[in-house]
Amino acid sequence: MKTSQAHPDFAAAWQNGGMVAKNAGQPATPADLINVDDVIGRYYDAVPDPSNPEQRVIFGTSGHRGSSLKTSFNEAHIVAISQAIAEYRKKAGVTGPLYIGRDTHALSGPAQHTAIEVLVANGVRVRVDSRDDFVPTPVVSQAILTHNRAQDGTQRFTGDGLADGIVVTPSHNPPTDGGFKYDPVTGGPAPADVTNAIAERANELLGSYRSVKRIPYEQATTSDLVERFDYREHYVADLGDVIDFDAIRSSGVRLGIDPLGGASVHYWSLMNERYNLDIDVIRPDVDPTWRFMTIDHDGKIRIDPSSPYAMKGLVDELNSGAWDRYDLVGGTDPDADRHGIVCPNWGVMNPNHYIAVCVEYLFGGHRPGWPKTSGIGKTLVSSSLIDRVAASIGATLVEVPVGFKWFVDPLFTGKVAFGGEESSGMSFLRRNGRIWTTDKDGLIPDLLAAEITAVTGKNPAQLHQAQVERFGESWYSRVDTPTTLEQKRKFASLSGDAVTATTLAGEDITAKLTEAPGNGAPIGGLKVTTKNNWFAARPSGTENIYKVYAESFVSPEALDKVLAEASTVVDKALAD
């Protein structure tokens, strides 16, 4: 069977129904750049209206996100959320330190300062980076879990002195945005019951945020409640438990890393020093305007290492002769919870394809210390190629709703040894089967790509081509459609009865799902499957759009039919 080329195939997945901005993939111009002073100034000066739904605290799949320019991420929000978190952790009996980290967005520094002022005023011990450096999302998760580890190596969920954390980041979102997420004692994104309680209390406080007690930042940071912690050393020293550095070192694999101006930028040099590797940081620039980026599919600067549009500048540089220095290149986003894999003669790998390569490698005999009963976790909008790979190696598949929070408990308990999602997020266990992180880790997938290349002699794109030969070629796409808050609410009440058709793109429908097969949790939408096709529709947790994901193992034309029929089903359901 003919193999697909990941770069053009994946580009289609970002076209949103064929609509790509004219400047997609082009270098950012001065007109595309933010005014950093204005963005930060609005953080302090703009005051949200609690009666405006667009300006309230809303926790999506990974925390509260917004923009100071839209009065949806401002000082008032962070004061209210931080106070709500302080009250929640006291009620929950969390008495240990709170680990806090931030990424390189312009709003992340001011928001971290605000949070520390409120947390210290509430008597919370806060652990900040000893170098005053950026701290990636997975590094906070790893620090929490290490702190909460019992003497026998198991994880503590209850007991005195447990730690939790906050990461100040909007992940890959544009430079105008800010984000704020809470990690409870399990180390990953908080579940809905926790975030709902925090958001509800924060919105109660929003209108009177000035009455919340705070301690001036300079005074707070010199108090006994603010403790210095070497996040970088702590994380890098433990990486040898996760990645086979001996294999990478002995093979001489040359790994390039583009941190995309993000929080991982200073971590790679320490890896080189500690493990004697050959990792080169290609672009070490940190600039909150992200002026060095190429424009993403929708005309915005979005710092997504898995997007061929956002990565086009890097790929062009590599194809112009820089490949002479590297065997493969990895990338991370601003908080380093997403990864991107770039291979010679290929381009940016589709995250679905890379997940499939990873699970076959990891579960195919290269992690003998993993529990035999642990399964492969995937979100239900990830490629069915992963299902076919899992079946071929006899591994249990655990399919969950969208959002990495659904992998927290399975990773924590060992129900799954690997959790991955189509939006280039993953984490997996240490080589001895113990927990690593329960949040997405963008660094270890890049390192794993080097390990896979070292051990197999083939890079991940070449291994994907071999999988296509065995399991078939697929075509995958996602279409985003504007929607209203009322229509978003209707998704929650969708049922299989909304689908009256018996076939999809000419094949008999085999399932109409509103709950995830892996855990029975509501998916907040609908998934319809056949033998070789499927689509899933769900609203965005952070934007007023709904997303239709679709895949076909038949042909591009069949994918078009799936998308067309999916649109009819969704439009009818939302109109009822």
Distance between start and end Cα atoms, the chain = 44
User: What tokens appear for 199 in the block?
Assistant: 């958001």
CB 133, CB 172: distance < 8 Å: no
Q: If DSSP codes are grouped into helix, strand and coil, which group holds residue 229?
A: strand
Q: Any idea what DSSP says for residue 439?
A: S
Q: To the nearest 5 percent, what fractions of the chain are helix, strand and coil?
A: 40, 20, 40
CB 181, CB 173: distance < 8 Å: no
Q: If DSSP codes are grouped into helix, strand and coil, which group holds residue 367?
A: coil
Alpha-carbon distance of 265 to 133, in angstroms, equals 10
Q: Any idea what DSSP says for residue 72?
A: S
Angle between helices 231-238 and 268-275 (to 10 degrees): 50
Q: From residue 12, how far is each of 16, 153, 311 by CA, in Å?
A: 8, 45, 15
CA atoms within a 13 Å half-sphere pointing along the CA-CB vector of 195: 21
Phi and psi angles of residue 10, each rounded to the nearest 5 degrees, phi first: -70, -30
Characterize the bridge pairing of strands 226-229 and 126-129: parallel
Alpha-carbon distance of 401 to 41, in angstroms, equals 38
Alpha-carbon distance of 97 to 119, in angstroms, equals 11
| Closest by CA position to 382, among listed 538, 551, 512, 540 | 551
Phi and psi angles of residue 407, each rounded to the nearest 5 degrees, phi first: -95, -10
Alpha-carbon distance of 448 to 362, in angstroms, equals 9
For residue 552, what are the contacts with CB-CB under 8 A and spacing of at least 6?
474, 475, 505, 532, 533, 558, 559, 562
Alpha-carbon distance of 16 to 33, in angstroms, equals 24
Q: Give me the helices (H) in 167-267, please.
A: 192-206, 217-221, 231-238, 245-251
The string of DSSP codes covering 127-174 is: EEETT-----HHHHHHHHHHHTB-TTSPBPSSSTT--EEEEE--TT--
Q: What angle do CA 480, 483, 484 make, to 5 degrees?
A: 155
CB 180, CB 405: distance < 8 Å: no
Residues with catalytic function: 171
